[in-house]
Amino acid sequence: MGTARIGAITAATAQSTKTRHTALMARLGITRRVGPLGAALTLWDIWRRLPPRQRRWVVDQARHHGPRVAKQALEAQRTRRKRP
């Protein structure tokens, strides 16, 4: 095999990999804009791909750690508001 042919095969492989990667990102919703709606839709995409056992684990973790995280978020918001 000549070097020109190897170069062409390598370039074609790289292009097809790039296309597959981009298509996968679009299908997973990773390219959505980050904002409240985009974050919610991305989380929904991830949630519906989880098996039932992992969904239960996520719910258990949210019940356990959710109140603490919410409290930290409120404190951070209060601290931010106090600064002029």
- For the chain, which residues make up each domain, given as ranges? 1-49, 52-84
Q: Which residues contact 29 (CB under 8 A, 6 or more apart)?
A: 41, 42, 45
Report, as an integer, the average pLDDT of 55-81: 92
pLDDT at 2: 57
The pLDDT-based confidence of 35 (bands split at 50, 70, 90) is confident
pLDDT at 33: 61
Higher local confidence (pLDDT), 19 or 65: 65
| Distance of alpha carbon 15 from the chain centroid | 24
DSSP state, 33?
A: P
The pLDDT-based confidence of 8 (bands split at 50, 70, 90) is low
Structure tokens at 7: 């170069």
